[in-house]
Chains A and B, each alone.
Chain A
Amino acid sequence: MGKTIAEKIFESHRVNSPDGQVEVLRLDRVFCHEITTPIAITDLMDRGMDRVFDPDKIKAVIDHVTPAKDSKTALQGKILRDWARRHGIRDFFDIGQNGVCHALFPEKGFVRPGFTVIMGDSHTCTHGAFGAFAAGVGTTDLEVGILKGVCAFRRPATIRIEITGTLKPGVAAKDVILSIIGRIGVNGATDHVIEFTGPVVKAMTMEERMTLCNMAIEAGGTSGICAPDETTVAFLWPFIKEEYNSPGAALAEYRRWCADEDAVYAREITHDVSDLTPQATFGFKPDQVKAVAEMAGTPVDQVYIGSCTNGRIEDLRAAAAVLKGKTVSPAVRAILAPATPEVYRQALKEGLIDTFLDAGFCVTNPTCGACLGMSNGVLADGEVCASTTNRNFKGRMGKGGTVHLMSPASAAATAVAGTISTLFREAE
């Protein structure tokens, strides 16, 4: 019987299966940030077990609140910083080098096809874009990962979502994933891995695949996964060129992680996107999705472009293309947080930052901040934000605030109009 990608990764990383249902896996990567790791560190210290399984497989970043906004967030950063130094964790990213974890770590080439990755962050599923099994976990799983290099998962069933058709110009990966979540629901993939496949995925860049996999968790998915292909290898090539004679040789090796043709799926869904238009959320759950056009005219107080979902260079390009020569509505506060220093630098080089500044955007340093209402763009009670982030829970970006999730292009159009808007027009 054939195997899915997740089944192949589980089989190759299995340490044991304590009860026949749960599999304990060997970890290739344990990623850490300053919100969920400090309590793991202090607990290990309290237990007299302040050790790490492998400092080279642990990568850490201060990203959620940076620079620190108060004494408490400064302490969180300090606990992580001191720990990274104490244990010789070389890949630790602090002020000046830090960015949103799920944008920064892929940029550094830390994830490879077939890897097992955990992090104390639900959007860790992003890294499945590289053909890895990458799952968000809590602090205790993280703590054991740091200490022992293992993590337990129930044997994953996989949902295969074949994305077919051709995307219209102006319709983005964000619109695709919002439409999928709207279709299968916030509980639609709980305890399942989602394999994204089909011609639309094949044609996507790595950045678009990351946007797709990033929101698998919003349907309850353990990990989103895209099979490794030429696009994956091209992205990783600067990091793997010493290991392989040619990109073709790397691809030949990586292909062993692709699903078998006779793999067995818990569910198979065909999702045609030929008629898809820009999407946005309404309400307070990520599966409450409809066409931007249906929500046109809804006033917003703030527009936020950034996050692990849509803070990468292609996202900034898409937004800047809409903003070029235009200005933000006086009714709107517009904020751009490039996801990493490299994204920021590239955007500067391309003149995108000028476009954002000319339009009236505030450009912040790379940080998660506003996405979860921690810093750099928190909403007041009753305010509304059009956001390129991933969660529209009530109060997510500030108590009493409302969030409408959408693509960078839609967010930019909304910033200009002052109400939910898109430049997308159906062809005549």
Chain B
Amino acid sequence: MKDFNGKVLFLDRSDINTDEIIPARYLTEVTKEALKPYLLEDLELPGFVPSRDIQEKKAVISRSNFGCGSSREHAPWAFEVNGINVVIAENFARIFRQNMFNCGMLAVELSREEIEGIFTDFAGEETSLSVDFEQRRLYLESKGKKAVYPFSLTGFDADLITAGGWVAYADINY
């Protein structure tokens, strides 16, 4: 199973699309590793500097409809090769969410109220995430603040995480 623990990158906007996560001009690469320098290159958010703010981050927290647009799996791959294996959001575009689990990565949906609360309490602070996969709980911690959020996964999505992705799962089952 991949590592889902570490520092959080907050992306405070809904509808962050796959072109913003990894622009099409980099889709000419034929290895995942080659995408590493370009993650979120076209995402314009106040104060956000991709090259500076992505460093050492292990998780992303954003708002609704995360990963909308293209089917490009280059979007989760660009996170993966930067060491980010988990995205937490109010909800996801279908293909992006499926791509995450297909890669053995975690896409967790929390309620609008919970996401709002997280942005109010933690965004702007150095925040760490730890994931208890078995108990389906997320723990957030920053200086002086702690919170725990239960989450749910479908049985299939959980099996993909455990199997390390859809190719390995499908090879055994189909």
Q: Are A36 and B156 in contact (CB under 8 A)?
A: no
- What residues on B are CB-neighbors of A49 within 8 Å? 171
* Complex Cα spacing A334 to B168, Å: 48
Stretch at the interface among B68-76, B116-124, B136-144: B68-76
B interface residues, Cβ below 8 angstroms from A: 15, 17, 19-20, 23-25, 27-32, 42, 44, 64-65, 68-73, 76, 91-95, 98-99, 102-103, 154-156, 159, 165-167, 170-171, 173-174
21 contacts between A and B (CB under 8 A): A18-B156, A18-B173, A22-B154, A42-B30, A72-B29, A76-B28, A124-B71, A137-B98, A138-B95, A140-B165, A140-B167, A143-B167, A144-B167, A147-B170, A150-B174, A187-B64, A190-B92, A190-B94, A372-B70, A391-B70, A394-B19
- What residues on A are CB-neighbors of B68 within 8 Å? 186-187, 220
Task: Give the residue name and chain of the B residue nearest to A391 (CB).
Answer: B69
Task: Give the residue name and chain of the A residue nearest to B42 (CB).
Answer: A395
Contact partner of B155 among A15, A21, A124, CB < 8 A? A21
Task: Give the residue name and chain of the B residue nearest to A156 (CB).
Answer: B94
Nearest Cβ distance between residue B123 and chain A, in whole angstroms?
A: 22
Q: Are B170 and A148 in contact (CB under 8 A)?
A: yes
Q: Which 8 A-B pairs have the closest CB atoms?
A: A19-B155, A138-B73, A138-B99, A140-B102, A72-B28, A372-B24, A136-B71, A122-B71
* Complex Cα spacing A112 to B124, Å: 52
Do A43 and B167 contact each other (CB < 8 Å), given the known contacts A18-B173, A393-B69, A394-B20?
A: yes
Q: Are A144 and B170 in contact (CB under 8 A)?
A: yes
- What residues on A are CB-neighbors of B17 within 8 Å? 393
- What residues on B are CB-neighbors of A76 within 8 Å? 28, 30
Nearest Cβ distance between residue B34 and chain A, in whole angstroms?
A: 9
- What residues on A are CB-neighbors of B156 within 8 Å? 18-19, 21-22, 152
Q: Are A140 and B166 in contact (CB under 8 A)?
A: yes
A interface residues, Cβ below 8 angstroms from B: 15, 18-22, 24, 35-36, 38-39, 42-43, 47, 49, 64-65, 70, 72-73, 75-76, 79, 120-122, 124, 136-141, 143-144, 147-148, 150, 152, 154, 186-187, 190-191, 220, 222, 285, 372-374, 391, 393-396, 399
- What residues on B are CB-neighbors of A43 within 8 Å? 167
* Complex Cα spacing A42 to B77, Å: 15
Q: Are B30 and A38 in contact (CB under 8 A)?
A: yes
Nearest Cβ distance between residue B94 and chain A, in whole angstroms?
A: 5
- What residues on B are CB-neighbors of A72 within 8 Å? 28-30
- What residues on B are CB-neighbors of A399 within 8 Å? 23, 25, 42
* Complex Cα spacing A124 to B20, Å: 21
* Complex Cα spacing A137 to B98, Å: 8
Nearest Cβ distance between residue A67 and chain B, in whole angstroms?
A: 14
- What residues on B are CB-neighbors of A147 within 8 Å? 167, 170-171
* Complex Cα spacing A124 to B102, Å: 19
Task: Give the residue name and chain of the A residue nearest to B17 (CB).
Answer: A393
* Complex Cα spacing A143 to B42, Å: 28
Nearest Cβ distance between residue A148 and chain B, in whole angstroms?
A: 5
- What residues on A are CB-neighbors of B171 within 8 Å? 49, 147
Q: Are A122 and B69 in contact (CB under 8 A)?
A: yes
Most chain B beta-carbon neighbours within 10 Å: one of A47, A64, A139, A399: A139
Q: Are A396 and B19 in contact (CB under 8 A)?
A: yes
- What residues on A are CB-neighbors of B44 within 8 Å? 394
Do A373 and B30 contact each other (CB < 8 Å), given the known contacts A22-B156, A220-B65?
A: no
* Complex Cα spacing A20 to B17, Å: 30
* Complex Cα spacing A374 to B72, Å: 14
Nearest Cβ distance between residue A96 and chain B, in whole angstroms?
A: 22
Do A122 and B155 contact each other (CB < 8 Å), given the known contacts A79-B30, A141-B102?
A: no
Q: Are A18 and B65 in contact (CB under 8 A)?
A: no
Q: Are B95 and A136 in contact (CB under 8 A)?
A: yes
Q: Are B30 and A220 in contact (CB under 8 A)?
A: no
Q: Are A373 and B73 in contact (CB under 8 A)?
A: no
- What residues on A are CB-neighbors of B73 within 8 Å? 36, 39, 120, 138-140
* Complex Cα spacing A141 to B159, Å: 15
Task: Give the residue name and chain of the A residue nearest to B104 (CB).
Answer: A140
- What residues on A are CB-neighbors of B103 within 8 Å? 140
Q: Are B94 and A191 in contact (CB under 8 A)?
A: yes
Most chain B beta-carbon neighbours within 10 Å: one of A20, A39, A79, A121: A39
- What residues on B are CB-neighbors of A121 within 8 Å? 71
Nearest Cβ distance between residue A76 and chain B, in whole angstroms?
A: 6
Q: Are A373 and B174 in contact (CB under 8 A)?
A: no
- What residues on B are CB-neighbors of A124 within 8 Å? 71
- What residues on B are CB-neighbors of A150 within 8 Å? 170, 174
Q: Are B71 and A137 in contact (CB under 8 A)?
A: yes
Task: Give the residue name and chain of the A residue nearest to B168 (CB).
Answer: A47
Q: Are B94 and A222 in contact (CB under 8 A)?
A: yes
Task: Give the residue name and chain of the B residue nearest to A400 (CB).
Answer: B42
Nearest Cβ distance between residue B36 and chain A, in whole angstroms?
A: 15
Task: Give the residue name and chain of the A residue nearest to B30 (CB).
Answer: A38
* Complex Cα spacing A391 to B29, Å: 22
Nearest Cβ distance between residue A149 and chain B, in whole angstroms?
A: 8
* Complex Cα spacing A24 to B17, Å: 27
Nearest Cβ distance between residue A6 and chain B, in whole angstroms?
A: 13
Q: Are B71 and A120 in contact (CB under 8 A)?
A: yes
* Complex Cα spacing A39 to B76, Å: 14
Q: Are A47 and B167 in contact (CB under 8 A)?
A: yes
Q: Are A137 and B27 in contact (CB under 8 A)?
A: no
Q: Are B70 and A122 in contact (CB under 8 A)?
A: yes
* Complex Cα spacing A58 to B30, Å: 21
Do A140 and B154 contact each other (CB < 8 Å), given the known contacts A122-B69, A152-B166, A220-B68?
A: no
